[in-house]
Structure 1
Amino acid sequence: MLIPKRCARFAEYRNKSLELFASKGFGQVGMRELAASLGLSAGSLYHHYPSKQHLLFDLIEEFYDELIAALGRVEQKIRAKQNKLQPLIQMHLTLHHEMPSHFRLAERDLGCLNEEQQQHVRYLREQYERRLLLILGSPAGLSESRSLAAVGVIANLLKSAPSWLVHYDLNEQERDELLQSFLAGAVSQLQAG
């Protein structure tokens, strides 16, 4: 079965459904509650989405599409720069500020998707990680599988780091500087092999 294209009214439904899923958790939101929050009847929502899984899939797919596109924009900017890590970290921090609920859903609720949807998300994640590896470069002497494993860890650090400091009384600049320092050290260590 092919993954269906995103609903034409997805942009209209995105923010409210994203907020609801992120605050309550995907499993705690019923189709009727979701429809009501979108100003639709359950029947109307079923017309656009056969299940709430399909809407969650669209949100997670949108997240990876934006993550991959952002990597492409960073790659264009840093081709000639020696230090590629700082702009890459800053891009992830900026994207996390812009799409915090997407990050949460992509990590927390991925298991709520059906197997075909999860497989597609795994494919998108692999595309993201391979592009990340191209930008960072493979550490000398590491096998391809070990390089991919290292970049997988780096990707997880980049995606999860902003949530590490949310409970501390820091302004945005202090939080970003601290995260950049942590991430730069961790990524450098992982790249060293």
Structure 2
Amino acid sequence: MAERCSRFAESRDKALELFASKGFGQVGMRELASHLGLAPGSLYHHYPSKQHLLLDLIEEFYDELLGTLARIERRRKAPDDLLRTLIRAHLKLHREMPRHFRLVERDSGCLNPDQQQRVRQLREHYEHRLLTLLGPLPRLGDAALRATGHAVASLLNSAPGWLDEQPLTDHERETLLEQLLSGALERLLTPSSQSAVA
């Protein structure tokens, strides 16, 4: 049983690789099954459609993001350290799961409306947890809080791609991204910027 689960996890990684390289919309079920070394019927046994597999991979991504926030919360640090820890954790996650980030950003729109609703719920839950971790923003209304959570999550999750084309060492890239994100988020989270929005 464990061997079967391990083989199926390996297949999911191969599917993720194929979707990330070609684009979800460019891959048919037969090609996917062939790439995984499975008969199409065997693939359909696990997933009734490739959208179900895509949703599963996206749920895996949000589970990992939420797990990262939970680990940071358990090790709760001072506000300055908390922000730095949060940024570093997202940069590390981006290094470990670049295909998931690309898939979520590029291919979520390929899901059916119910599945897209599920992804919205996952995203909103993650954004809410992120804001809760960063601390109270009392001067913002509900809509502005939701927008802030979305903006902060978007910054953290898209930043690693900003410098892809730049000839920097890994250390230079990480340091620059950390400084850019810290500057943007510290400004957003200071009381004077809150009163300006309110």
TM-score w.r.t. length of structure 1: 0.91
Paired residue for 1:119? 117
Q: Is the 8 A contact 1:129 1:155 kept in 2?
A: yes
Quote the Cα distance in structure 2 between the aligned partners of 1:147 and 1:111.
Answer: 25
Does 1:75 find its partner at 2:105? no
Does 1:62 find its partner at 2:56? no
Identity over aligned pairs, percent: 59
Q: Look up the equivalent residue of 2:117 and give its one-letter code.
A: Q
Quote the Cα distance in structure 2 between the aligned partners of 1:69 and 1:80.
Answer: 17
What pairs with 1:31-50 in structure 2 (closer than 5 Å)?
Answer: 31-50=29-48
Quote the Cα distance in structure 2 between the aligned partners of 1:185 and 1:59.
Answer: 32
Among 15, 18, 35, the alignment partner of 1:17 is: 15
TM-superposition CA deviations, 1:149-183 (whole Å, max 9, x none) = 11210100101000111111111111111111111
Quote the Cα distance in structure 2 between the aligned partners of 1:55 and 1:146.
Answer: 34
Paired residue for 2:174? 176
Quote the Cα distance in structure 2 between the aligned partners of 1:141 and 1:166.
Answer: 36
TM-superposition CA deviations, 1:116-174 (whole Å, max 9, x none) = 11111111111111110111123342112212211210100101000111111111111
- Where do 5+ consecutive residues of structure 2 fail to align? none
Q: Is the 8 A contact 1:138 1:147 kept in 2?
A: no
Among 51, 54, 72, the alignment partner of 1:53 is: 51
Q: Look up the equivalent residue of 2:89 and give its one-letter code.
A: M
**Aligned-partner SS, 1:109:** helix
Quote the Cα distance in structure 2 between the aligned partners of 1:40 and 1:80.
Answer: 47
Q: Look up the equivalent residue of 1:102 and give its one-letter code.
A: H
CA RMSD for the aligned pairs?
1.3
How many residue pairs get aligned? The number is 185
Paired residue for 1:163? 161
What pairs with 1:74-113 in structure 2 (closer than 5 Å)?
Answer: 74-77=72-75, 79-83=76-80, 84-113=82-111
Quote the Cα distance in structure 2 between the aligned partners of 1:13 and 1:184.
Answer: 38
Among 130, 133, 140, the alignment partner of 1:132 is: 130
Among 19, 23, 26, the alignment partner of 2:24 is: 26
Quote the Cα distance in structure 2 between the aligned partners of 1:162 and 1:76.
Answer: 25
Q: Is the 8 A contact 1:68 1:128 kept in 2?
A: yes
Quote the Cα distance in structure 2 between the aligned partners of 1:103 and 1:85.
Answer: 21
Q: Look up the equivalent residue of 1:71 and give its one-letter code.
A: L
Quote the Cα distance in structure 1 between the aligned partners of 2:141 and 2:43.
Answer: 48
Q: Is the 8 A contact 1:64 1:125 kept in 2?
A: yes
Quote the Cα distance in structure 2 between the aligned partners of 1:126 and 1:143.
Answer: 16
Q: Is the 8 A contact 1:64 1:124 kept in 2?
A: yes
TM-score w.r.t. length of structure 2: 0.89
